[in-house]
Structure 1
């Protein structure tokens, strides 16, 4: 009976009469503020989660969990390191690579490229590449004169599968006329996309033997990529491998190689959460304002309720429930709109780009070709809890002031 009395009166005060429309407008603004704040937080957190997961997966998928680089120019005894690495149970795959820079002469323009020497058998672990071949095939990826080119780089250079392309290496060749840059023609056998814009805009793959010869590395390599069972333990395993390999090489985990980038993502996530939380805080202040106006408007009603026996606690609960209705409805609507938008954000992006005729999500800036979104239940629960707690806190002081009203003082001016 007590609960029914409190809820009935609270709901009655929540629905404004004709002469209380201004109070209703303030309440509506509060509700809209909470809805927008909750929805915005869910959407932004989902997009930030998506960015972190997609970029991390692409970084690991294309580059390995642990990298081993020489202190000098090349690793001559890399077979020994490969053997030592495979003795560790946590190691799944060891890939010898040759990495260097070159200048590519295209049909329309020239561009600096990153040469990555990797054998066809090792490309099988790079599913992002083999599974996304746009032109040509990796079946001919063999020999000293073939390359596979990232899609964005191929577009810039104006080449396609079957094209010939000239590469100029930074190393010099002694000739009768002095030192000359090493230049060589290659046949493009495949155009691929990796899912990471920066990689596609610079990478050119060729077999290890071809890269060794072109970059003047003899029989050595300058990079070992190691894939492990538990990626989250890469930092710990890299220390173990460093002790095993000695200090003629440097062993680093993928977290260390991308520490600045990952730190920037985390700082941005925290900053966006704090900034967007202010929307909910402002809405909570609006709840305080609307409740004070309701208390002032219902002074006579409060006096009558107290006169007929309503307790201080009941009066407080009436106005707390009144304010919490705004919090509950706003939070519920915010969660619904936020989840709908988060799960369909890529479709929304494509629609807006078609509608406006402009490119809203440029992969050259954001690194990815599509706008990722990953909803975490923990984030939704945390955002919902924050909204409800702020709404509850906003009701306490106005409810206390209402319960503290003296019936005699309240009725004196009526």
Structure 2
């Protein structure tokens, strides 16, 4: 007669019966519950943390790519010496034949759009309030193509009126108490050149559009102005400061650096969005790895409770193990029975943890809103974190990692007490019974 196959039905039945045994019957239900709850909470924390970290990174990158160029082409500054005073002056590089260069850049494979831009720093004032701002002179089509700027859910005004005034960030509008139709005064230090030196240039513009890019720093400092007006205001007649380039795969934006430099010629420089934010994103990736390791330790600690519970179960079931061995149960069968006892706890705890973690991740916005309401807005500060909300991005890979880690640890920690039960001498177990 052949022996039963490993993990037969009776092994599952014995393991499940031991796991459900009451304390009066020699069971360790309290330790089982502690192990199960610990694993569930550990898996929940791991899944929720990974989802929030992924969501934060995705939101941060989206706010960058939704309101900024993927890469920027500009010319290097030039220096010259005044022969009379021997003073050295530095002149910012400009692109004069920008229409032709923009067309050449836009024709490169993988480039979806290229826009000429004028940039400058100004002091924005309205009434008694003032704020430092960065002006972007762009065309109507360039502004309309920025998804974060033109989102109707977070903006006010009509883009059709952009050529009649300026578009300002919601942070500037809030600090200067401005609305659609109000006037904003812009003061540029590099204004008209006279015999007595350079005088600041002061112009007033109608606010025709108010946007929110989802980034606190952008909304608080950025102003968009029609390109021709910006050229006149910043003394850039017939020239622009840079060409903003958008590509079909922003994550591989570095692949376009060499083609752009070859197209622009001598003196050209390129600055990508990863150059501007790469260090911060690298820090986020490192923090993700560290958080996974830390929370993995928490899951391991919770899994160790399974070992404690199984050791107590083996001790309490010594008589039963001796009887089963005398009835013909092999060492391997006893080993598998107690491995299944721990595995049941790990699997059930992991399933509960996945459910709780997914629910927590899906409702993190509501939870943060409630915390903000209780703390008066102190739970999430956009001026510190940069973005206005804490999103969660549930990814199948993150859930799989959490489940695989929990199950692997739950199975591994059962081996020692299960081997101890399997090696128990049935004669010694029944000697005093």
TM-score bracket relative to the smaller structure: over 0.9
Q: Identify the match of residue 389 of structure 1 among 399, 402, 408.
A: 408
SS at match of 1:375: coil
* Residue matched to 2:124: 104
Gaps of 5+ in 1: none
* Residue matched to 2:281: 262
| 2:48 paired with 1:43 | yes
| 2:127 paired with 1:122 | no
CA distance in 1, matches of 2:281, 2:259: 23
* Residue matched to 1:67: 72
CA distance in 1, matches of 2:115, 2:356: 46
CA distance in 2, matches of 1:22, 1:85: 74
CA distance in 2, matches of 1:330, 1:108: 61
Q: Identify the match of residue 150 of structure 1 among 169, 180, 189.
A: 169
User: Residues 312 and 45 (structure 1 numbering): CA distance in 2 closer, same or farther, change over 3 Å?
Assistant: same
| 2:344 paired with 1:325 | yes
| 2:220 paired with 1:201 | yes
Alpha carbons 1:235, 1:252 under 8 Å: kept: no
Q: Identify the match of residue 239 of structure 1 among 254, 258, 268.
A: 258
Q: Identify the match of residue 235 of structure 2 among 204, 213, 216.
A: 216
SS at match of 1:129: coil
User: Residues 96 and 198 (structure 1 numbering): CA distance in 2 closer, same or farther, change over 3 Å?
Assistant: same
* Residue matched to 2:88: none
Alpha carbons 1:108, 1:158 under 8 Å: kept: no
CA distance in 1, matches of 2:106, 2:192: 37
Q: Identify the match of residue 399 of structure 1 among 404, 415, 418.
A: 418
User: Residues 192 and 267 (structure 1 numbering): CA distance in 2 closer, same or farther, change over 3 Å?
Assistant: same
Q: CA deviation at 1:288?
A: 1.0
SS at match of 1:321: helix
Q: CA deviation at 1:376?
A: 0.9
CA distance in 1, matches of 2:159, 2:260: 33
Q: Deviations over 1:138-170 (max 9, x none)?
A: 222115xx2111111110111111112221213
Q: Identify the match of residue 295 of structure 1 among 307, 310, 314.
A: 314
Q: Deviations over 1:101-137 (max 9, x none)?
A: 1111233432111111111121121132223364332
User: Residues 210 and 60 (structure 1 numbering): CA distance in 2 closer, same or farther, change over 3 Å?
Assistant: same
* Residue matched to 2:161: 140
User: Residues 194 and 93 (structure 1 numbering): CA distance in 2 closer, same or farther, change over 3 Å?
Assistant: same
TM-score of the pair, normalised by structure 2 = 0.89
Counterparts in 2 of 1:285-364, with a 5 A limit? 285-364=304-383
CA distance in 1, matches of 2:212, 2:417: 60
SS at match of 2:235: coil
Gaps of 5+ in 2: 78-91
Alpha carbons 1:141, 1:189 under 8 Å: kept: yes
CA distance in 2, matches of 1:273, 1:153: 39
